[in-house]
Chain A
Amino acid sequence: MSSLILDMREADPKFKYRVKAIPGAEKLTVCFQCGACTPDCPVAKRVDIFRPRRIVRLALFGFKKRLFSDNLLWLCLGCFGCTEMCPQGVKPTELIEALREIGAEEGILPPSIKDMMKALLSTGRIHRITKARERTRTKMGLPALEEPNMEELEIVFASSGLAELVSGKEEK
C-alpha cells in the first residue's frame, strides 16, 4: 500500500481511550484540528514531521507505530505554547507527556532518555556534575550540591518501576 494512503489496519480505535484515561489527556477526542497549536510551535519550525496537531490526530486514530517511531514524542520542549492557544482545551503538551508514559510502559524509549534514566538509577542524577560546574557554583557564591540520598531514591525507583522500564523491556 502506498505510504500516501493511511492503512487503517494499523489503526487501533481503542487506543484513544487508553490515552484519555491519563490525567491531562482527557480532552484528546474533542480536537477539531484547527491547527492553532502548530504555527508558534518551536519544534514544528525545525522538524517537518512534528506538528502538535498531527500528533493529536495520530493518537485519535490510534496509529501507534507512527506515534512511537522517529522519537517523535520526545521532540516536544514542553513550552506549553500549543496548550495556551488551543481553543478546545486539548492541552497538547500534557497529551504528549501521556503518550510518552504509554511509550515508556511499552519499552519504547529513545537511547538518550534511557541513558538519563540509567544515570539516575546509578548516581541519583540525570547529568554528571563536572568539576568545572562545581567551581562555577563556588565562584557564583552558590552552596555545594548535596549528594543524592540514594536510600530514599531507591524507594522512589522501586515504586515507580523505573528500573524495569530501563532494563526489563529494553529489547522489545
Chain B
Amino acid sequence: MGEVRIGVYICHCGTNIAGVVDVEEVRKYVEGLPGVVLAKTYPYMCSDPGQNLIKEDIEKGLIDRVVVAACSPRLHEPTFRRVLREAGLNPYLLEMANIREQCSWVHMREPKKATEKAKDIIRMTVAKARLLSPLQPVEVPARQEVLVIGGGIAGITAALDLANAGFRVYLVERAPSIGGHMAQLDKTFPTMDCSQCILTPRMVDVARHPNVQLFTNSEVVGVEGFAGNFKVKVLKKPYYVDLDKCTGCGLCVDFCPIEVPSEFDVGMAPRKAIYIPFPQAIPHVAVIDPEHCLYFMKKKCMVCEEVCQELAAGAIDFSQQPEEVELDVGTIIVATGYDLYDPTQDEEYGYGRYEDVITALQMERLLSASGPTRGEIVRPSDKEKPKKVAYIQCVGSRSLRPGHASYCSRVCCMYAIKQALQLKEKYPDIDVCIFYIDLRTFGRGYEEFYWRAQEHGVRFIRGKVAEIWRSRNGRLVVRAEDTLTGRVLEEEFDMVVLSAGLRPSKGTEELAALLKIPLGPDGFFLEAHPKLRPVDTVVDGIFVCGTATGPKDIVDTVAQAKAAASSAMALLSRGKIVIEPFVAAVDEDRCRGCGRCEEVCEFGAVAVEEKDGRLVAHVNEALCKGCGACSVRCPTGAIKVRNFRPEQIRAMVSSVAG
C-alpha cells in the first residue's frame, strides 16, 4: 500500500462544537498525525463553502482520504460522500469523527477534557481511515409491487397514490371491510366534513383500482427478504361466504337468530352472527362470525344458507378454509392504526358499571346519521334525551399510573370539542361541560374551532375528575376541583363521555417481530428519525405511517400516508436498489468451508456452497446487515466486513490504548 494522504476537516458547527472544543488546538494536533497531510477548520463544514474546501483539496490532488470531524455520520455522512464522488474520489474513502453528539454536547461543562477527547476520537478515526479501501455500492433489482398493511385512511391513501403512479399494490386488512376507524366517525374536525362522505369515495376508488388487490379479513403472517425483494405470506381468513356470489342483500342477516354487540357500533347496537360490517363496507358482503354462529358452535341452524339458497345467490359456504397466499413485493408500508384505550380499569369513572358512561367513539356512533340511533342522542340507560353531558379528558393518557400512557393522545381535545359543538348544534338547550387538564388545539384552524365552542357556550372546567358515581335519581355525579377557582365541585349529568386515548393496535408487537422493526417505549412503531425520516423505519424498504407511529389526527395521518407512498416510489422507481457495501466479503482462498459463519448469521445471509469442487462461504449482499458476527467467528480470517476489517478495528484500538 502506498502512502495515504489524509485531509482532516474540523467543523465548528457554529458554537455547537467550537463553543466547547478548542478546534484550533485540535487542528494543530491532528496535523502531526501519521498519514495526515493537511488539517483545516471551518464554521460550517456542511455548508457550500465548507464542502468546496474538501472538493478543491481533492481536485488539486493534495489528498486521497477524507476525515470529517463534525456531527454524527447519521446526519451528514451522505452529504460528504457526495462531495467525494463529485470531486472524483471513491465516496467510501471517507470517515466521520463524531465530535459533536459524542463529545462537545455531552461534555459541555468540561471544555479542556472535551478538547482532549476530540483529539482521541480524531486520532482513532485517522487510524481507521488509513486502512480504508474504495468500495462500490451493491445494486439489486427491485420488484415493482408494494404491500400495504392496514386498510384505514392511511393505508387507503398510500395504496391509491402508489397505484396511481403505476405500482401494483396489495392492500391487506385484518377486518372484513376496509375503512378503519375513520368509517366509524360522524364528522371530522375542524372542517366538520362528514367522515363517511369523504372516506367512502376513497374506499371505492381503491377497491376498483386496476392496480390494487384487496386482501380483507386477512393478516400478514410471514415476512422474509430485503428491500426490493420481500416475500410475504398473507393468511386469508374465511368469510364462509362466496365473495363472488354474495350480493350484500342482507337477507341472511335478517334471518340469523343470534345477536352480539357490534364492533363497528362499539356495542351501542347489536349485530347478527352473520353480518355486513356497515352499510358502506367494502367488500359489501356478509361475513360469518364463527365464534357466535350456531352452526360452528353446535352444528345446527344454517338458516342463512337456506334463505340464501332459496331466495338469493346461494353464497353461503360453511366449508371455507383459511388460505395462505405468497406475495413478492419491493417495499412494505405499515399503516396498522390504533386501538382506543379501554377505560374499564379506571374504577373511579365507572365505565362498564354505569351504562351512561360511554367512550367518545361510542358517542360518535350515536352522533352518526347512519348509526344505530340515526343521529339522535339518547341515554343508554333509559333512551331519554340528555340535558347535560360531561366530557372527561386525558382518560388513560398523560398519566404514569399503571396501565396508563404517559403521552398525550393528541386528538382527544379536538374530538371532544367537535362532539360538544355537534351536541350544541343538534340541541341548542343542551349543557355540555368539558373537564380538562390542558387544552391542546394546535393545528391550523383548531384554535378557531375551540373559540367557536366557547361562543356556543360549551363550559370548560380545568380540573381532572376524581370520581363519578350514580345518585339516587339515576343521574351521574361528577366530582372535580375547578382548579381555576380552587373549589371542589360536584355536579349532576345525564351522560358522561370519556375522552379515551389512543393505543398501539392489537398485534403491533407480533407484526414488529415479523418485520424486524423496533417499537418505541410507548409501544408504537419507531420511525428512523422523528424529523428527517418520519415515515422510514430502520429496515430499508419498510415504511410506516399514520397512527401506527403514535397518535395523530386525520390531517397528519393522510400527510404521512402520502409521504410513505412517495418514499416507496422513490425507492422502487429506478427498478433497482442501491445497498451500502458495508457487508461481509469472503476471501475464498482462505475460506475452508467450515460453515461457522452460516451458523451465526441471524439474517440467513451466509451460506456455504460448493464451488469448483470445494466448499466456500457465499454472502448474499442484499441480506447481509454488516453486523460482523461471521467475521468474529471465522477461524481463518476469511470473512470480513468491508471497511470494518479486524485490522482497522485493531488500528483504532491501538491508537488510543496501544
Contacts and interface: CB of A to CB of B under 8 A. Distances in A.
A33 B483 contact: yes
A38 B479 CA distance: 10
A121 interface: no
Given A39-B480, A40-B479, A87 B404 contact: yes
A51 B482 CA distance: 12
Given A34-B464, A87-B398, A39 B479 contact: yes
A66 interface: no
A86 B483 CA distance: 14
Which of A33, A34, A89 is the most central at the interface, judged by chain B CB atoms within 10 Å of its CB?
Answer: A34
Given A34-B483, A45-B488, A54-B486, A87 B401 contact: yes
B72 interface: no
Interface residues on B, range: 20 to 34
Interface in B471-500: 479-483, 486, 488
Interface in A27-62: 32-36, 38-40, 44-45, 51, 53-54
Contacts of A39: 463, 465-467, 479-481, 488
B654 interface: no
Given A39-B479, A40-B466, A45-B488, A34 B400 contact: no
B479 A87 contact: no
B488 A87 contact: no
- Name the prevailing secondary structure of the A interface residues: loop
B438 interface: yes
A13 to B, nearest CB: 22
Contacts of B480: 35, 39
B321 interface: no
Nearest to B478: A39
Contacts of B479: 39-40
B529 to A, nearest CB: 27
A33 B463 CA distance: 8
A44 B486 CA distance: 10
B481 A53 contact: yes
A53 B483 contact: yes
B434 to A, nearest CB: 14
Contacts of A34: 394, 437, 463-464, 483
B399 interface: yes
Interface string A116-160: 000000000000000000000000000000000000000000000
Contact of A44 (B438, B465, B488): B488
A86 B399 CA distance: 8
A38 B400 contact: no
B398 to A, nearest CB: 6
Given A32-B437, A45-B488, A85-B466, A38 B398 contact: no
Contacts of B466: 36, 38-40, 85
Interface in B552-586: none
B438 A32 contact: yes
B481 A38 contact: yes
Contacts of A38: 463, 466, 481, 483, 488
A46 to B, nearest CB: 11
Interface of A: 32-36, 38-40, 44-45, 51, 53-54, 85-89
25 contacts: A32-B437, A33-B483, A34-B394, A34-B464, A35-B462, A35-B464, A35-B480, A35-B481, A35-B482, A36-B463, A36-B464, A38-B488, A39-B466, A39-B467, A39-B479, A44-B488, A51-B481, A51-B486, A53-B481, A54-B486, A85-B348, A85-B464, A87-B398, A87-B401, A89-B400
Please list the 5 inter-chain residue pairs (A to B) with the smallest Cβ-Cβ separation, ordered nearest first: A87-B399, A35-B481, A39-B466, A36-B464, A34-B464
